[in-house]
Amino acid sequence: MIHISMQGFTDASDMIRSSVREFVRREIEPIRMKIDRDDYFPVDKFKLMGKMGYLGVTIPPEYGGSGAGYIAQAIIEDELGYSSPSLALSYGAHSNLCLDNIYRNGSEYIRETFVPMLASGEYIGSLCLTEPGSGSDALSMSTHIEEKDGGLYLSGSKMFITNAPYADLFLVHSRDGEGYSSVIVLAADEGFSRGRSLEKMGMRGSPTGELSFNRIRIEEKRILGKRGDGKRIIMSGLNSERVILSFIFIGLARRAIDEAVNYASQRKQFGLHINEFELIQEKLSYMYVRYEASRMLAFKALEKLQYDIMDPIDAASAIMYASESAEYIAREAIQIFGGYGYIKDTGIEMLLRDAILGQIGAGTTEIRKRVIAKALTRMYAEGRRIE
């Protein structure tokens, strides 16, 4: 993988950004409003991302990926988030939450059998953690593995699962005796069924749904790591997820600022462009500062992710601040647009609806605060200090 610090992008990262930006301009920007309006998931564009090497960006070439690493994955999320945050969300659920997790923790059999199909886009992937009765308290899940008649059987249900209505492969976290295990389930498995496809206020076009597992027979070779490794896999996955998904909201915020600055430079009231009014200037300045602070915090977390995936404090901090700031920035953009920001024609109100999910998904803002405070307290108890 190419590891790049926030202090200086390499030529490779500039090339990736240029490539993704052109892809987004050509393929996504013309349909971004349709994606939201019609709750439309562009399967063809998603699979095209596989052909271009975007889906398997963290996966080595020998398993069908492009091997560019987390920095490239973050860039893709940023650029997709600028145009269609919902497509960025589905991309993240596939590329990071599912595929990267499977590659990092899977056996050679799993890597050879499933990773290339996910990297190419032949399979659409999904991660299954949340349940109807367990959201923030994820480890209180009811989905479980039981041993019976010499076999392993998975039973339970999952809720609010990104890509569920379309996915071919699911990484399912479950109870396993006194611990937890993470297993691969295929849509073709006997006992698997899809429930409702859920209609959301925002992130429309990122398909979300319910899933049920009715005594699915699980081959032991489909378990990631070994039985009982699930908690470690869940926690490391959450840290990676929080860092990478924070870039969706950085891209969203950048779009809101672009739109607001352009509009304020053109719109006239009382004979003046509204960007000449100090109250508008105040809004724009705070929008920019919060955007840049989010970006720097996210890149700090991205650096740490590359050498310490189990440390939660920077990951939780990055997505907490990026999502809060994106919501603030999108709301201020609507205010600058006035009535034109409130109607659907301009696409500005969509940014706010999409931004709201940032404080709910990947652990709520309240859970992130808890994670940060506990990690900080532990750090000081161990005699360490913040830098």
> Which residue from 261, 265, 254, 308 is spatially nearest to 284, judged by alpha carbons?
261
CA atoms within 13 A on the CB side of 242: 34
Q: How far apart are CA 275 and CA 295, in angstroms?
A: 24
User: Cβ atoms within 10 A of the Cβ of 175, count?
Assistant: 18
Beta bridge partner(s), residue 181:
174
Q: Which of 77, 241, 303, 332 is catalytic?
A: 241
Structural contact between residues 302 and 240, judged by C-beta atoms closer than 8 angstroms: no
Determine the 3-state secondary structure of 134 from DSSP.
strand
- Is 62 one of the annotated active-site residues of the chain? no
Residue 61 CA to residue 46 CA, distance in Å, equals 20
How big is the CA angle at 250 (ends 284 and 307), to the nearest 5 degrees?
A: 140
Strands 272-273 and 192-197 come out as unpaired
Rounded to 10°, the helix 70-83/278-305 angle is: 150
For residue 260, what are the CA distances in angstroms to 79, 198, 341? 18, 31, 10
The set of catalytic residues is 241
